Structure 1
């Protein structure tokens, strides 16, 4: 029989205390490690570079200030689309405008753009080869301003459901370009559904001379596939814009006077109307601005809100104003390209309905013998 002494009991208690201490130390070490991991994760999350708001096709956007903070006359197309569908709309529009640019831009302009793109591609390849051969840091080359022109560039409007397609090439008028695009779509959609194109001929007769010239000189060998048009689902209007500026009376009124003077320098309009829309802006009062702009026009020219000969477009978007003066505005469906693509189908349906109504009324008319 073994006897337990006081010393054995003390030793046993000391051993248990040591084990408990080591266990608690292990737990504290584990908790400290987990806290360190959490801290590192939190630190890495907080120090992570914030993602750009422009993803995918938005990556090439110019800033909103490009619409007014520049000495260059910014002109192009103001595109509206379904809310939160800007990326889809860009994917629809860029192939379309590039194909029509091949068709209606002067050949020398397209040739220059193609040469510039090839040169920039060669420079990019040479830069890649140089970087692979050396590991030293080099300062980036500063490009000469206005050395090259792209046919189109995207500008952030600062407002959802709308963006701007800039046309930097100086000699290309966005009004002429958009007139040619829409009348071409109008005609091909009517022919596709075997409808008369007389309405297209009537609109062409009202074209500005510069638009007629661009349309007649278009390269008819350029093929526009139907799938490019059928792809357009999210894009609504493509309104041509000739001038942009900061959204203030001081900046906008002189610009508007210049636009009116330039447009009506050699012609005498019969009537005009004003369409003004304001988005995310409170600096320009809509009613006051419309009255002030109307006062800039010759008093002999009457205001016609139902069917004006010319429509003044004033789009106030955040800190900028985009404006232009358009003819044949309603004839081209207010520059709504989505509606224009459906015009052939709608015309055929309307004609079918009219023919059916005529047949029914004829059948219902009693003869003399009856």
Structure 2
């Protein structure tokens, strides 16, 4: 007599579990379909961007400071080109412009959702940040401009906890095939063109939280794709190949010979470069004249 209620309870429990599992599966499938199976907040193959390191427990502060710095430089570097293009238009063509069409175009541009030039990617690693970039930002020349200004004495506002910036031209999955794909894409403009023979180069890998690719494997693969006609020179290189591997993503870029001069793009070290004290120099000249 007592077994019947127990049986019904067990059947009820089994049904509840099955119902919950079905709901969980439907939710997972719906989320995957909505996002294409990829978390848009995660670092992905096909990304371009900038790695950055910072002081311990200063990630949130540094993300905000870098976002402001990048936006400031994007305005300096890219907006003037648009202004110059507009200023160079021939006045004689003004009458031919369809005003109504221009207004519609402007309204469409205003209503069109625009993606930010810089999007911070959430990471679970201390002291490490990544900013995804989009056109017209070119990560290598963009980072070089910031570091050149810092080396020349331009005061970089805030960013007191930011250390090294590393530009990334392209990303792929961090496996043997992905490494080959990204290397062919990134290296071709620098080593495989008709006027690109006889380059001295070096390779600098950085591997974090990844056990699939070794340093030796990375160097061997990248050097093979550089190809013949070029020479390895660790100190007198013309071009330096930066390889950044983080978990399941490998990124790569090629920078110039001023990488060491620019303190390996370390803003903290660039701020510490001794600057000439103009006031002291002026006083010294006056003293010499009096003598």
- TM bracket (short chain): 0.5 to 0.7
* Aligned mates of 1:248, 1:230 — CA distance in 2: 39
Distance 1:247 1:280 in 2: 11
Distance 1:312 1:184 in 2: 23
Say what the alpha-carbon RMSD is for the aligned residues: 2.9
Q: 1:291-310: per-residue Cα shift (whole Å, max 9, x none)? A: 12112223331111123211
Which protein has the larger Cα radius of gyration, Structure 1 or Structure 2?
Answer: 1
- Please tell me whether residue 67 in structure 1 is matched to residue 44 in structure 2: yes
**Is 1:284 the equivalent of 2:284?**
no
Give the distance between the partners of 1:272 and 1:341, measured in 2 at CA.
28
Gaps in structure 2 of 5+ consecutive residues: 1-38, 87-105, 282-291
- Among residues 138, 154, 159, which one is paired with 1:173 in the alignment? 138
- What TM-score comes out, normalization by structure 2 length? 0.66
- In structure 1, what is the Cα distance between the partners aligned to 2:206 and 2:152? 30
Comparing 171-180 and 95-104, the one that deviates more: 171-180
Number of aligned pairs? 216
- Partner of residue 247, structure 2: 318
Structure 1: stretches of 5+ with no match in the other structure: 1-60, 121-143, 190-225, 353-370
Question: Would the aligned equivalents of 1:159 and 1:280 in 2 still touch at CA under 8 Å?
Answer: no
**Alpha carbons 1:67, 1:244 under 8 Å: kept:** yes
Question: Which aligned pairs between 1:1-370 and structure 2 lie closer than 5 A?
Answer: 63-64=41-42, 66-68=43-45, 73-107=46-80, 119=110, 148-169=114-135, 171-189=136-154, 226=155, 229-264=156-191, 265=193, 266-327=195-256, 328-345=258-275
Describe the shift of the 1:269–1:233 C-alpha distance in structure 2 as closer, same or farther (beyond 3 A). Answer: farther
For residue 242 of structure 2, give the secondary structure of its aligned residue in structure 1: strand
- CA-to-aligned-CA distance 1:134-165 (integer Å, 9 cap, x gap): xxxxxxxxxx9xx5231211113443211111
User: TM-score w.r.t. structure 1 length?
Assistant: 0.53
CA contact (8 A) 2:62 2:159 kept: yes
Q: Structure 1 residues 104, 308: CA separation in 2 closer, same or farther (over 3 Å shift)?
A: same
